[in-house]
Amino acid sequence: MSGADLERLTDLISTARRIVAFTGAGVSTESGIPDFRSPGGVWDRFDPNEFTFQNFMATEGGRRRYWELGRTTFPVIRRAEPNPAHHALVTLWRLGKLDCVITQNIDNLHQRAGLPEDRVIELHGNATRARCLSCERPYERERVQEWLEAGVAVPLCDPPCGGIIKPRTIMFGEAMPRREMEEAERRARAADLFLVVGSSLVVYPAAYMPLHARDAGATLAIVNLTDTPHDGEADLVIRGSAAAVLAQVTDRIAPRPASR
């Protein structure tokens, strides 16, 4: 990351009127949440083909296997705290620069950092919530975790329903949420600066969002540690940590008061 690139990103953000940020796993990893796809991640230890929506719905065994994984991964999400990247985006929202965040992440950290619910579009759902597929009763994932830790292998909705409980996350093979996808595309096309942060842009259809913005005339900036397939479409590409880059930019735009 060069000083010139950082200065240019600062200028782009300073002059933008409607920023849409698109965040991926690189933002979550800096809060201690492992990237499922990276070497040593969850899918190195579990076969993702076992955790499809079809397997979850088809058999109790499929649901039991899913909840075995969920019992071990949810505490990591529960312990995580927002990092400087999350807080920097909140700063941009408070300055009136940020329209919304479109996120692939499921950890609820954007909301915990201070972004309003209606400013976070979750394309892959939210791991801190669950619901009954029969009666639509909502459940906090924390309550389901208590059942799992008490020895319940396959949580079911409270009587008299007894329906299947599913986390509000999008599983492999499950349809993407239509309302969120349509809203994300609408917001992307209305942006004048589309800022990708911490996404490798390899998971579709979410990864089409930067292209929607670019096609509609937005400036495209990408901040990520590794190359992405859309780097050639971008006006600015910065190789760097999401937290470090965004924190430096917001410190330039809105310096924190000196401590006494």
Q: Which two tokens stand for residue 246?
A: 């965004």
Give the residue among 103, 149, 163 at the shortest CA–CA distance from 127.
Answer: 103
CB–CB of 249/10 below 8 Å?
yes
The pLDDT-based confidence of 2 (bands split at 50, 70, 90) is confident
CB–CB of 21/210 below 8 Å?
no
Least confident range from 51-55, 149-153, 162-166: namely 51-55
Which domains are assigned to the chain? 1-33+81-124+177-260 (3.40.50.1220), 35-79+125-169 (3.30.1600.10)
Residue 240 has pLDDT above 50, yes or no: yes
Which residues on adjacent β-strands are paired with residue 237? 222
Residue 168 and residue 229: Cα distance in Å, rounded?
A: 29
Q: What's the pLDDT tens digit per position in 204-215?
A: 999 999 999 999
Q: Which two tokens stand for residue 154?
A: 């396959």
Residue 238 has pLDDT above 50, yes or no: yes
| Mean confidence (pLDDT) of the chain | 92
What pLDDT, on a 0 to 100 scale, did the predictor assign at position 3? 84
CB–CB of 234/213 below 8 Å?
no
Q: What's the pLDDT tens digit per position in 16-37?
A: 999 999 999 999 999 999 876 5
Give the residue among 184, 209, 200 at the shortest CA–CA distance from 237.
Answer: 200
Element (H, E) at 33: none
Q: Which residues contact 195 (CB under 8 A, 6 or more apart)?
A: 13, 19, 20, 21, 22, 221, 223
What pLDDT, on a 0 to 100 scale, did the predictor assign at position 260? 44
Q: What value, to the nearest 5°, has the Cα angle with vertex 34 and ends 29 and 40?
A: 130
The pLDDT-based confidence of 229 (bands split at 50, 70, 90) is very high
Q: Which two tokens stand for residue 179?
A: 């309302």
Q: Which two tokens stand for residue 221?
A: 């900036």
Q: Which residues contact 32 (CB under 8 A, 6 or more apart)?
A: 76, 79, 80
Per the annotation, the verdict on 110 as an active-site residue is no
Residue 33 and residue 29: Cα distance in Å, rounded?
A: 5
Q: Which two tokens stand for residue 197?
A: 């942060």
Average pLDDT for residues 170-174, to the nearest whole number?
Answer: 91
Q: What's the pLDDT tens digit per position in 74-113?
A: 999 999 999 999 999 999 999 999 999 999 999 999 999 9
Which of 86, 110, 124, 230 does the annotation list as catalytic? 124
The pLDDT-based confidence of 245 (bands split at 50, 70, 90) is very high
Residue identified by tokens 């296997």 is 65
Longest Cα pair distance anywhere in the chain, in angstroms? 63
Residue 40 has pLDDT above 70, yes or no: no
